[in-house]
A = this chain, B = another copy of it.
Amino acid sequence: MNTTINLAGVELKNPVMTASGTFGSGEEYSEFVDLSRLGAVVTKGVANVPWPGNPTPRIAETKCGMMNAIGLQNPGIDLFCERDIPFLKKYDTKIIVNVCGRTKEDYCEVVERLAGEDVDLLEINISCPNVKAGGIAFGQNPAAVEEITKEVKKYAKQPIIMKLSPNVTDITEMAKAAEAGGADVLSLINTLTGMKIDIHKQAFALANKTGGVSGPAIKPIAVRMVYQVANAVKLPIIGMGGIATAEDAVEFILAGATAVSIGTANFFNPTATVEAVEGIEAYMRQYHFDSINEMIGLVK
């Protein structure tokens, strides 16, 4: 049985990875999960300089989901390279660094800095609500998506994953723009923008007012978008949004994802990622798939 998948020339032992921002750089969950069992670890978004993030409360629970407004707190690329990459190198897994920024230059600086580092892929988060380009978030405008992809590609030594926002009318436009800009891989979906009001305090549940909704609640929207994008572009897709079990992971793969990321589920099941690895194998045995590649986009 072959579970290896290929993302722009990088071979992963299996399609299961962590979703950026939910797994730190792996250290905290390494108590629960042997990171070497995972296809890849995707790190929390890192910027050119340290970011303090948003005020608290940053977290709110929603039905079958949660909202976060972390605001991309991160220690900056220098400390990240010094501490987090060496930590991850101890494991037999691929390293995917999620990159965030406020301007094009911010992104490019991080990407350039990572060119000399021993990491496997870069995931460019153009769907963070803090990041504006001429008043419009990078990820909600096809021209901006194409441009930032092109810019980043100029500096990148590793293949580039563009991470798309679901808060758009037509996700395939964004996917095509990223493809046109030279993206190697797409990942989707980031969180859906939501809001919660505490009716007893008569105040917003999050200090930031709005936050990103994640978890099983958003899975049907994510599956739909993965399916649409898989049928609109040629690039491999990393699917995510509400994956909690191997069955969920298989659903994304059948819809067209080459790999899957598990985010919020780590918070209620710290071993969700390894369980997904095992469960996908069980599914392949049950339905007689020799290679996971036979499953990708099977349902049309």
Show the binding face of A for B, using Cβ within 8 Å: 62-65, 67, 140, 167-170, 192-197, 199, 202-204, 209-211, 213, 216-221, 223-224, 227, 242, 247, 250-251, 254-255, 283, 287, 298-299
Contact = CB atoms under 8 A, between A and B. Distances in A.
Given A63-B217, A64-B64, A67-B220, A254 B298 contact: no
A195 B169 contact: no
Contacts of A203: 299
Nearest to A192: B221
Given A63-B242, A140-B169, A254-B202, A221 B197 contact: no
What is the count of identical protomers in the complex?
2
A283 B197 CA distance: 15
B195 A223 contact: yes
A197 B251 contact: yes
B299 A197 contact: yes
Contacts of A63: 64, 216-217, 219, 242
Nearest to A209: B227
B251 A199 contact: yes
A204 B216 CA distance: 18
A196 B223 contact: yes
A291 to B, nearest CB: 16
Contacts of A204: 299
A67 to B, nearest CB: 6
A250 B200 CA distance: 10
Contact of A64 (B169, B194, B217): B217
Which 3 pairs across A and B sit closest by C-beta, in order of nearness? Answer: A194-B220, A64-B64, A217-B217
A193 B224 CA distance: 7
Contact of A283 (B65, B199, B221, B224): B199
Contacts of A216: 63-64, 217
Contacts of A251: 196-197, 199
Contacts of A250: 199
Nearest to A248: B199
Contacts of A221: 192-194, 213
Contacts of A299: 197, 202-204
Given A169-B167, A221-B213, A254 B199 contact: yes
Contacts of A211: 220
A286 to B, nearest CB: 9
B195 A62 contact: no
21 contacts: A63-B217, A63-B219, A64-B216, A64-B217, A140-B170, A167-B169, A168-B168, A192-B221, A193-B221, A194-B220, A194-B223, A195-B223, A195-B227, A196-B251, A197-B223, A197-B255, A199-B247, A210-B224, A211-B220, A213-B220, A217-B217
Nearest to A251: B197
A215 B227 CA distance: 22
